[in-house]
Amino acid sequence: MLNMRNLSNQIRYIGIFILFSISINPIIGQEEDLLAMLGEDETTELTFATFKANRIINLHSVENTSMGVLDVKISHRFGFLNGGIYELFGLDQASIRIGADYGITNRLMIGGGRSSFEKTYDGFVKYKLITQSKGKKVMPITAAIMASTAVKTLAFQDPNRENYFSSRMYYTYQILIGRKFSESFSLQLSPTVVHRNLVKTVAESNDVYALGIGGRIKLSNRISMNSEYIYVFPDQLAEAYQNSLSIGFDIETGGHVFQLHFTNSTSMIEKGFVTESNGVWADGGIHFGFNVSRVITVRKKK
């Protein structure tokens, strides 16, 4: 059903993000002073590469695309493995997302893409608030905020009824909190809210609250294993939907990261993998997929 209070909801979410950013500003200011202390006896060392890419698998990571760099991504996801030999275990079916991320600064990045699944366009903005550090100034975590919008362009099921463009819109807000515990292990929490302007039944919630958790274990100098799980709090979705569970591998090749993964989520954007995952791992409802990217330096640092 269409939520007529959508505008006030969006203002509320944006207000929460602004308040969170204001509250963290003193910490950001401290971080920006770190480089000025390099001449002192004890220096501050910032932590980098909590994750090897700006995505864990589906979830955004606390990493950003560097300033002036364009990251063109092609994400491919085959059908369910339980399709059997008739569907060649999912290889006869596939969905794809083509997108691009760009680093405006080392803290601020934007991106967007188009998915063949539900013919959806999406865009996002992500801002890194603080960076984990040790030494003279200690910061135990890296934190960022991310907001995205998606529009589904599938034809309306009943074109003869009065349909609204706002019914196609979805919004996601996340706080990303990560820590690199060692060179071999990183962990991230992602509190999430997804707002859907239109839901199928009155039993479903327009606002869906969830908590994502993702981790990385380094297996070798070039290979790491990633996993993520998104817990959706009860009584918000239809019974058929599942919590998203994904396992994958990052392979570094000449400065690029090639990602292979298995997941029960068909969609590759937040409104889909948070609220619409329907594969059941125990029944073989698993997609095999991969992400490839090409990094292009558009604007060189001065």
Residue-range domains of the chain with CATH: 6-297 (2.40.160.40)
- The reported pLDDT for the residue numbered 133 is 93
**Residues 167 and 195 sit within 8 Å (Cβ to Cβ):** no
Which parts of the chain have pLDDT scores under 70? 1-41, 255, 301-302
Confidence (pTM): 0.83
- C-alpha to C-alpha distances, 302 to 64, 267, 299, nearest whole angstrom: 19, 39, 9
- The reported pLDDT for the residue numbered 17 is 55
Query: Distance (Å, rounded) from C-alpha 216 to C-alpha 185?
Result: 6
Q: How does pLDDT run across 98-132, given as a tens digit for each residue?
A: 999 999 999 999 999 999 999 999 999 999 999 99
Query: Distance (Å, rounded) from C-alpha 141 to C-alpha 144?
Result: 10
- The reported pLDDT for the residue numbered 50 is 93
- The reported pLDDT for the residue numbered 2 is 45
- The reported pLDDT for the residue numbered 216 is 97
- The reported pLDDT for the residue numbered 191 is 97
